[in-house]
Chains A and B, each alone.
Chain A
Amino acid sequence: MALLPILVYPDERLKQISTPVTEFDAALHRFLVDFEATMRASPGGVGLAAPQVEYFKRIIIVDVSSKPKIPRHGRLLLINPEIVAREGEALGREGCLSVPDYTGNVVRAQRIRVRYLDPDGAAGELDCEGYEARAVQHEMDHLDGLLFLDRLVSRGDLFRRKFYK
Chain B
Amino acid sequence: MKRWHMLTVVGRDRPGIVAALADALYRAGANLGEASMTRLGGNFTIMLMVESDFDAGALARLLAPATQHLGLQLHVDAIEGQLHDHVEPNVRIAVHGADRPGIVAQITAILAEQGFNILDLNSDVAGSADKPIYVMVLDGYAQAGAAALERALAPMRASGIELRITPIDTLVG
A48 & B173 in contact (Cβ 8 Å cutoff): yes
Contact B173 A92, beta carbon cutoff 8 Å? no
Q: Does A135 contact B (CB under 8 A)?
A: yes
Pair A131/B171 contact, Cβ less than 8 Å = yes
List, sorted by A's number, 28 A–B pairs whose CB atoms are closer than 8 Å.
A42-B172, A46-B172, A47-B171, A47-B173, A48-B173, A62-B173, A67-B169, A92-B171, A93-B170, A93-B171, A94-B172, A95-B88, A96-B172, A96-B173, A97-B173, A101-B84, A101-B85, A101-B86, A103-B88, A103-B170, A131-B169, A131-B171, A135-B173, A138-B171, A139-B173, A155-B120, A156-B137, A158-B94
Q: Which residues of B contact A72 (CB under 8 A)?
A: none
A102 interfacial contact with B, CB 8 Å: yes
Q: Name the residue on B nearest A104 (C-beta).
A: B170
On A, residues with C-beta under 8 Å from B are 42-49, 62, 67, 92-97, 100-103, 131, 134-135, 138-139, 155-156, 158
Given the complex, which residues of B lie within 8 Å of A45, measured CB to CB? 172-173
Give min CB distance, B128 to chain A, whole Å.
Answer: 21
B122 is an interface residue with CB less than 8 A from chain A: yes
List of B residues within 8 angstroms of A158 by Cβ: 94, 137
Q: Answer whether residue B21 sits at the interface, using C-beta atoms and an 8 A cutoff.
A: no
Q: Are B169 and A94 in contact (CB under 8 A)?
A: no
Taking the complex as formed, is B149 at the interface, i.e. its CB lies under 8 A from any CB of chain A? no
- Range for the number of chain B residues in contact with chain A: 10 to 19
Residue of A49, A97, A155 touching B172 (CB-CB under 8 A): A97
Residues of A with C-beta under 8 A to B20 = none
Residue of A nearest to B170 (CB): A93
Q: What residues on A are CB-neighbors of B122 within 8 Å?
A: 155-156
- Say how far A103's CB is from chain B's closest CB, in angstroms: 5
Give the residues in chain A near B171, CB-CB below 8 Å. Answer: 46-47, 92-95, 131, 134-135, 138
Nearest residue in A to B171 (C-beta to C-beta)? A94
- With a cutoff of 8 Å between Cβ atoms, the chain B residues found around residue A135 in the complex are 171, 173
Any A CB within 8 A of the CB of B64:
no
Interface string of B116-134 (1 = CB under 8 A from A): 0000101000000000000
Contact (Cβ within 8 A) B168 A93: yes
How far in angstroms is the closest Cβ of chain A from B151? 19
Contact A94 B170 (CB under 8 A): yes
Q: How far is the CA of A46 from the CA of B173 in the complex (A)?
A: 6
Interface readout for B61-86 with A: 1 if CB under 8 Å, 0 if not? Answer: 00000000000000000000000111
Given A155-B120, A156-B122, A158-B137, check contact A103 B169 (CB 8 Å).
no
Query: Are A138 and B94 neighbours in the complex by a CB distance under 8 Å?
Result: no
Residues of A within 8 A of B173 (CB): 45-49, 62, 94, 96-97, 135, 138-139
- Complex Cα distance, B172 from A62, in Å, reads 11
For B86, give its contact among A46, A94, A97, A102 (CB under 8 Å): A102
Compute how far the CA of A48 lies from the CA of B173 in the bound complex, rounded to whole angstroms: 5
CB neighbours (8 Å) of A95 from chain B are: 88, 170-172
CB distance from A129 to the nearest CB of B (A): 14
